[in-house]
A and B are shown apart, each in its own frame.
Chain A
Amino acid sequence: AQSVAQPEDQVNVAEGNPLTVKCTYSVSGNPYLFWYVQYPNRGLQFLLKYITGDNLVKGSYGFEAEFNKSQTSFHLKKPSALVSDSALYFCAVRDPSLTRGYNKLIFGAGTRLAVHP
C-alpha cells in the first residue's frame, strides 16, 4: 500500500539553527513528492515538489528538500530557522495508482515545527 511517514510529531529548533523535518515514503514506481505548510487556522500552502531531475529541490521561504531514492526519503530542510517558520508541515506523495485526471495526495500525519527565539 502507498504510504507516507513523518516519524516526528514535533521538531524543536533554536532560531538561526538549521532545521530538518523528516519524511519517508512507500509507493510503487516513481514518486511525485510534495511539502506543504499550514499555519494556525489557515489552509495548506505549497512549499515545493519533486517530480524528476535534481535530487535537491528548492522551494518557497528558503526551504529545500532532498530526494533520496535509496532511502525512500524526502526530508525538508532550511539552513537557518526563523520563529515565523513555526507551523505544521505535511509531506505528501501523489497516488501513483491513478494515471490520469486528478492529483490524489497521500499525506503524512504532519510534523509540528517549533522554532524558539
Chain B
Amino acid sequence: DAMVIQNPRYQVTQFGKPVTLSCSQTLNHNVMYWYQQKSSQAPKLLFHYYDKDFNNEADTPDNFQSRRPNTSFCFLDIRSPGLGDAAMYLCATSRDRAEQYFGPGTRLTVT
C-alpha cells in the first residue's frame, strides 16, 4: 500500500544534542510537510517542500531545519533541542493542494 513512513517512531535525545527525524513516502506526492504537535493540540505547520522549493512558516524557530534529497525522502533536523521541543512530529504529503496524508509520527523526548 502507498504510504507515508516515519522513522524512528520514538526518539530520545539529550538537551542540546542534534537529532534528525526521517520521513519517506511511496505516494509520489510533490509536496511534503513537517508538523509539530503537542499534547493533543492541533498540529502546527513548521515548513513544507513544494517539489524542491523549501518554504518556512514565519514563526518556525531557526533551530528547526529540513532537507529533501529526493521526491521520496524528507528529513527534519533539530540543531539544539530544548525541553520545549519535546513533541510528536508529523510528516505529511499531498499532491499540490489536494488532501494531505500523514505518517504515524515520531514522538521526541528531550532529557
> Hey, which bits of chain A sit against chain B, CB under 8 A?
32, 34, 36, 41-46, 49, 88, 90, 94, 98, 100-105, 107-110, 112
Contact = CB atoms under 8 A, between A and B. Distances in A.
21 contacts: A32-B97, A42-B104, A43-B91, A43-B92, A43-B103, A43-B105, A44-B43, A44-B90, A44-B92, A90-B42, A90-B43, A100-B97, A101-B31, A101-B50, A102-B48, A103-B98, A104-B45, A107-B42, A108-B42, A109-B41, A109-B42
Contact of A103 (B42, B90, B96): B96
B1 interface: no
Interface residues of B, number: 28
A105 B98 CA distance: 11
Interface string B43-87: 101001010000100000000000000000000000000000000
